[in-house]
A and B are shown apart, each in its own frame.
Chain A
Amino acid sequence: MWVSFELGRPLGVPNDPAFQTRVLRAALELMDAESGPVLEDYPEDVPPELAGADFNGMSCPIDLPQPSSVEPGIVEDLLQEIHQVAPWYDLAVSQRGRTTVGISDLDMEQAARFLAGYIEDEATPAPRGDLTTGRLLKIVCEDLKAYYSEAASAQPGMSASIAVEHWLFNETTLGKLLWEIRNTRTEHEDDETRYFARRSLIPDRQVQYKGAKAYDP
């Protein structure tokens, strides 16, 4: 069964059991078909306020400065930002009874110190010795992004994925650091780090939005 929902949300709407159940029942009821193959379009779209943005033809509406070399004190800036985000993250965890943060097994201060330290000096000691640098960068960044995303999506007016994503990549110190990695490591000599910077860090729609160079898979 084909659905129109944005990638990542195949049941349509988070925290809407009725919507999800309609989708699920429509799919399962196809099992009662007496002949096939069966290919059906699900007729319902998500409410407009939750739909993803149409990026076609869009360009960045403001002249965002290209991230420059890391400024002194960026670690402290990132830690301060995490501290500011923390109450919303705590609220999100309390409301949802769960978190998706934890893939790196690091707390956010460890993750932040490693990420900012790595950008300044790649010889920064890794907090985990069992992973390659490329793998560690990936899971550290995913944990930080998840922490910010969970916090932001608990705030009023931030239920659409694009609202959270735009804020994270364009309005935060973390986003600035993620762009800094991408802008400085896409030709890195290490295969994993290069792949990570090109394809596994910044979503394509943000790359397109900012007019940055895209890389094929």
Chain B
Amino acid sequence: MARLKDLPAGERDLMMKIPMPHFDATPFVTGKPLSERRVAILSTAALQTRSDRAFAWGDAGYRVIPGQTQPNDIIMSHRSVNFDRSGFQQDYNVCFPLDRLRELASAGVIGSVADYHYTVMGANAPERLEDTARHIAGLLKRDAVDTVLLVPV
């Protein structure tokens, strides 16, 4: 998330108008040490594998990125043009840090990397993504994931 002053005026005004939700409770849990955690990525960059369906406008679904996906098979079909794509084009780790997670797992910093990772298209009202989020949460549990790295673009 960039600083507001670094955004074009239109984007900045839009951000300023987004209502800030109020939460009556802020649940917090502690868990395993980081070195024992199994980590998955959930990206809002509308990434997909090359053979999967492109995100349509208003698409509130999700796409799966298997952990063994080859780098050339990860592409992007986000509707927004108001974030940089050239970084992703040069190195997908700048928004989907799968290689970095693997390195941290090899170094013992985290326990392991999940077998499956997920992407959604963030240009959606959050409430439209609730069903998708709950569904993904169930899938993550079945992959024994206990930590999710939420990576917005």
Contact = CB atoms under 8 A, between A and B. Distances in A.
Interface in B98-142: 99-101, 103-104, 109-110
A208 B76 CA distance: 25
Given A4-B2, A17-B103, A21-B104, A11 B84 contact: no
Interface residues of B, number: 61
Given A4-B3, A31-B34, A99-B72, A138 B79 contact: yes
From A13, A34, A199, A204, residue with most partner B Cβ within 10 Å: A204
B94 A103 contact: no
Interface string A101-141: 11100000000000000000000000000000001001100
A103 B45 CA distance: 14
Given A24-B149, A36-B28, 15 more contacts: A4-B2, A7-B83, A10-B151, A13-B87, A24-B101, A37-B28, A102-B75, A103-B76, A138-B79, A142-B77, A153-B89, A199-B81, A200-B79, A207-B8, A207-B10
Contacts of B64: none
Contact of B9 (A145, A201, A208): A208
Interface in B1-35: 1-3, 5-11, 14, 26, 28, 30-31, 33-34
A32 interface: yes
Contacts of B14: 216-217
A149 B104 CA distance: 31
A205 to B, nearest CB: 4
Contacts of A33: 30
B31 A31 contact: yes
A35 B28 contact: yes
B110 to A, nearest CB: 6
Interface in B29-62: 30-31, 33-34, 37, 39, 45, 50, 54, 56-57
Contact-residue size bin, chain A (C-beta under 8 Å from the other chain): 35 or more
Contact of B89 (A12, A100, A138): A100
Contact of A55 (B8, B86, B88, B99): B8
For the complex of A and B, the 10 pairs showing the least CB-CB separation, nearest first, are A8-B84, A8-B83, A7-B83, A14-B91, A98-B72, A36-B28, A161-B84, A14-B90, A205-B8, A9-B87
Contacts of A214: 10
A34 B104 contact: no
B8 A7 contact: no
A36 B94 contact: no
A200 B28 CA distance: 38
B6 A52 contact: yes
A204 B103 contact: no
A11 to B, nearest CB: 5
Nearest to A33: B30
A180 interface: no
B94 A14 contact: yes
Contacts of A216: 14
B110 A17 contact: no
